[in-house]
Amino acid sequence: MTARPLLVLASGSPRRLDLLNQAGIEPDRLLPADLDETPQRNEHPRSLAKRLSKEKAEVAAMALRELDIDGPSYIVAADTVVAVGRQIMPKGELVEDAVANLRTLSGRTHRVYTGVCLIGPRGAVRQRLIETRVRFKRLSREDIDSYIASGEWRGKAGSYAIQGLAGSFVVRLVGSYTNVVGLPLYETLALLAGEGYDIHARWKAATVATEDA
């Protein structure tokens, strides 16, 4: 009997896990990759998102081998980059960086890029790059100070979480909302389905359970 392929999420992000769960998908393993995410010299935000998503998937594939897990697997990795033009907004780690990010994003349109990489059971590497345009209202000093005090910005691309308090900053959004949260669901599920993963398995299982009840 052929072993059921594992689904591995190469991320420790609760947001990405929540999004997959929202789509009825439960990863078998979480294997976050510890990478240096510093942009290369003159690297475009789009290129950075694609490069890091592929590197994360490759690190997770290596980790699986080190764990002696040799069966078939689907490895999903993603990286999200927020940029104004070619200027990449650093992730929110330090207060001064977060304040600088919010001041830059205030009253302007920025772009959110997410690179998604899938390594399938036969080793095929497939990638997608998704872009969403987001416009913030003009942020007051109180808006920024209060948002910094909330702590919600920590560890977030661009120093904000659209699914939280910062959703109130958004004047306009063009493109995928889930992309801005951190994992574009439509494109991710399309990649999985294209490689033969049954994205509806849990949906159908819930129907059977209801009928048997």
Residue 43 domain flag: yes
**pLDDT > 90 fraction of the chain, expressed in percent and rounded:** 82
Per DSSP bridges, beta strands 109-119 and 125-136 are antiparallel
The total number of structural domains in the chain stands at: 1
Give residues with Cβ within 8 angstroms of 70, minimum separation 6.
Answer: none
| 36 catalytic per annotation | no
For residue range 110-166, list pLDDT tens digits in order: 999 999 999 999 999 999 999 999 999 999 999 999 999 999 999 999 999 999 999
- The confidence score (pLDDT) of residue 33 equals 86
Query: CA-CA distance, 200 to 166, in Å (whole number)?
Result: 32
Residue 199 domain flag: yes
CATH number of the domain residue 168 falls in: 3.90.950.10
C-alpha distances out from residue 45 to 53, 153, 197, Å: 12, 20, 30
Residue 1 domain flag: no
1 pLDDT tier (thresholds 50, 70, 90): very low
SS3 177: helix
Residue 36 domain flag: yes
Query: Which structural domain, as residue segments, surrounds residue 157?
Result: 6-212
- The confidence score (pLDDT) of residue 156 equals 93
- The confidence score (pLDDT) of residue 212 equals 53
- For 184, phi and psi rounded to 5 degrees? -65, 110
**Catalytic site residue from 28, 68, 70, 79:** 79
Residue 56 domain flag: yes
Residue type at 38? Answer: T
For residue range 12-38, list pLDDT tens digits in order: 899 999 999 999 999 999 999 888 889
- The confidence score (pLDDT) of residue 3 equals 61
Residue 115 domain flag: yes
- The confidence score (pLDDT) of residue 34 equals 84
